[in-house]
Amino acid sequence: MKRIIFEILLVLGLGGAGAFGFVTFQKEKASTTQLAQLTEQTEGSGKKLEELTAELEKAQKEVPPLQSKALQLEALREALVNGEALRDLEAAYKKEKTLSPERLAGLGALRLLTKGGDDPATVEAFQKALNASDWGSRRNLICASQKALASAGQDVKVLSECLPTGVSKMPLADEGKAVKSEKPVKVEKSDKDSHADKDAHGDQAKDGEDSKPGEKDAKKAPHWDYEGEMGPENWGKEFAMCGRGRSQSPVDIRTPFEKTKASVVAAYQNGPLRIINNGHTIQVNVAEGSKLRVDSLPYDLVQFHFHRPSEELVDGKPQAMVVHFVHKNKEGKLAVLGVLLKEGNENPGIKQLWEHAPKKKGPEVAVDGVKFNPANLLPREMEFWSYDGSLTTPPCTEGVKFFILKTPVNISREQVEQFPFKKNARPVQPLNNRQISAS
Ligand SMILES: [Zn+2]
């Protein structure tokens, strides 16, 4: 059975690798023999697809511990069944005569996995790496396989973008992006696994503010935007989960609601003001100590940031803006508290923030002698709507709990206009089978 699962992983891996190569290849010299081998293998994999699909179904029934992984694979399998991934791959090989040595190393790693498939240590390491990675990104699939091979003792060149880049990266995705931190204590060392942070830090890496010399590839990390070619409707091309996810955020909040008894309590405290314009939003990175309690389970407030207009709609209508408070618990689970900002009187908390918010994209600013309490941005009432969603920015990772407060707070029209982004809101996403709860 292990072997079967492994083959499925391999086919998926090849598909992913091809797609990955397709979007990120570089025109550098490479061995044509290797390419030929890869193409051959890919064709072989393509033929076996039907067979493997059946095996996957069987595997789902027979191997309960692998069930959730199998479900994740299902999403990727779909891309293969409808030919998307294979077409990508074929197109990549047809159009391009050469792939960069690094890309080849990535593909080569997957090839090595074929041979190493009987070695339980390799399989186990691969599974482990996959479990720890975000399947929403094709790059992570490659990173996972490379790391698995490396940790199983194989001589594998690991892509530079797969290498841990030190503690200056938060293991959170974009919503949870904490950017360069002077106090990297909150960064979990366990982030040695291929996590999605690199994707999420695409722009940041470009800034070079926390990239190391020689991290050439990191600087080519995928870019995204709120309009144009890299706008939300195209995020799925680079970040699979944004296009394929079934529990995406934001959503249009409307009845019917399910009554919930859950409680949400924000215990935020005063702390030094660290604020950044990261090119997508204004974000305040928060020092340790502020917490959100969801049914008395603590989540640490990591950062908060703004969207204009509000990403969430209520009965189809947006508010002027929204602030997202991003929290993370000990297990690494994310919870976002959303506070809608409604046009009205001036907001003194916002006033203080806007005074220090950089107009242009750049590094984090630690404002000397200024403290800020995030509680200043909360309404008195903590009644909320809640649902299970995702990061609203690439890589759109799911499994994020959302709590949107029913009571908005004021922001003046001038303050809205002072926000340096005219529009930085992802459109609402289908609810699919989800249920919105109301307190
Ligand atoms: Zn947000």
Cα 276 to middle of ligand 1, angstroms: 14
Closest CA to 334 of 378, 394, 399: 399
Greater model confidence, 138 or 2: 138
Whether the per-residue pLDDT at 8 is higher than 50: the answer is no
Cα 389 to middle of ligand 1, angstroms: 12
Cα 40 to middle of ligand 1, angstroms: 44
Spatial distance between the Cα atoms of 57 and 54, rounded to a whole number of angstroms? 5
User: Which pLDDT belongs to residue 296?
Assistant: 86
Domain final position from 241, 267, 286: 241
Identify the domain containing residue 115 by its residue range. 2-241
Catalytic residue IDs:
280, 305, 307, 311, 324, 392
- Verify that 184 and 232 share a domain, yes or no: yes
DSSP β-bridge partners for residue 403 = 337, 386
Whether the per-residue pLDDT at 174 is higher than 90: the answer is no
User: Which pLDDT belongs to residue 177?
Assistant: 43
DSSP E strands in 239-320: the ranges are 252-253, 258-259, 264-267, 271-277, 282-285, 291-294, 297-307, 313-314, 317-318
Cα 306 to middle of ligand 1, angstroms: 6
Identity of the amino acid at 272? P
- Verify that 430 and 388 share a domain, yes or no: yes
CB 317 within 8 A of CB 342: no
Cα 307 to middle of ligand 1, angstroms: 6
Cα 324 to middle of ligand 1, angstroms: 5
User: pLDDT class for 402, splitting at 50, 70, 90?
Assistant: very high
Q: Which of 42-46, 52-56, 76-80 has the highest mean pLDDT?
A: 52-56
DSSP β-bridge partners for residue 292 = 266, 299
Cα 417 to middle of ligand 1, angstroms: 18
- Verify that 256 and 235 share a domain, yes or no: no
Cα 216 to middle of ligand 1, angstroms: 29
| CB-based burial, 120-149: b 16+ in 10 Å, e otherwise | eebbebbbebbebbbbbbbbbbbbbbbbbb
As a whole number, mean pLDDT of residues 151-159 equals: 63
Which of 77-91, 189-203, 221-235 is least confident? Answer: 189-203
Closest CA to 141 of 233, 64, 239, 246: 239
- Verify that 150 and 289 share a domain, yes or no: no
CB 167 within 8 A of CB 182: no
Map residue 138 onto helix, strand or coil: helix
Closest CA to 30 of 96, 90, 104, 111: 104
Spatial distance between the Cα atoms of 142 and 132, rounded to a whole number of angstroms? 13
User: Which pLDDT belongs to residue 161?
Assistant: 59
Domain final position from 196, 214, 241: 241
Q: At 270, which CATH number?
A: 3.10.200.10
- Verify that 51 and 171 share a domain, yes or no: yes
User: pLDDT class for 118, splitting at 50, 70, 90?
Assistant: low
- Verify that 170 and 308 share a domain, yes or no: no
Cα 393 to middle of ligand 1, angstroms: 7
Which of 130-134, 151-155, 204-208, 358-362 is least confident? Answer: 204-208
Q: Do the strands 398-405 and 321-328 form a parallel or antiparallel pair, or are they unpaired?
A: unpaired
Cα 305 to middle of ligand 1, angstroms: 6
DSSP letter for 186, please: G
Q: Encoding tokens for residue 370?
A: 């200024």
Cα 215 to middle of ligand 1, angstroms: 28
Cα 83 to middle of ligand 1, angstroms: 33
Which of 72-76, 209-213, 268-272, 319-323 is least confident? Answer: 209-213
Scan for tokens 């809608």, then name that residue.
340
For 37, 181, 231, 362, 396, the CA distances from 223, given in Å and listed in that order, are 31, 21, 10, 16, 14
Greater model confidence, 425 or 112: 425
**Percent of the chain beyond pLDDT 90?**
49
Spatial distance between the Cα atoms of 277 and 305, rounded to a whole number of angstroms? 10
As a whole number, mean pLDDT of residues 388-405 equals: 96
Cα 194 to middle of ligand 1, angstroms: 23
Spatial distance between the Cα atoms of 102 and 9, rounded to a whole number of angstroms? 21
Number of domains in the chain: 2
User: Which pLDDT belongs to residue 107?
Assistant: 57
Which of 46-50, 56-60, 264-268, 298-302 is least confident? Answer: 46-50
User: pLDDT class for 189, splitting at 50, 70, 90?
Assistant: very low
Q: Is 423 exposed, middle or buried (0-12, 13-18, 19+ CB in 10 A)?
A: exposed
- Verify that 82 and 126 share a domain, yes or no: yes
As a whole number, mean pLDDT of residues 368-372 equals: 95
Q: Which of 144-148, 175-179, 408-412 has the highest mean pLDDT?
A: 408-412
User: Which pLDDT belongs to residue 50?
Assistant: 61
As a whole number, mean pLDDT of residues 95-122 equals: 56
Q: Which of 13-17, 22-26, 183-187, 371-375 has the highest mean pLDDT?
A: 371-375
**CB contact set of 228 (below 8 Å; sequence gap of 6+):** none
User: Which pLDDT belongs to residue 413?
Assistant: 98
Domain final position from 219, 241, 263: 241
- Verify that 216 and 283 share a domain, yes or no: no
- Verify that 197 and 258 share a domain, yes or no: no
- Verify that 45 and 14 share a domain, yes or no: yes
Cα 283 to middle of ligand 1, angstroms: 10
- Verify that 150 and 77 share a domain, yes or no: yes
Express each pLDDT in 267-312 by its tens digit.
Answer: 999 999 999 999 999 999 999 999 999 998 999 999 999 999 999 9
User: pLDDT class for 156, splitting at 50, 70, 90?
Assistant: low
Please name the helix (run of DSSP H) or strand (run of DSSP E) that holds residue 140, with its range, or none. Answer: helix 138-151
As a whole number, mean pLDDT of residues 67-84 equals: 49
- Verify that 290 and 343 share a domain, yes or no: yes
Please name the helix (run of DSSP H) or strand (run of DSSP E) that holds residue 372, with its range, or none. Answer: strand 365-372
Map residue 239 onto helix, strand or coil: coil
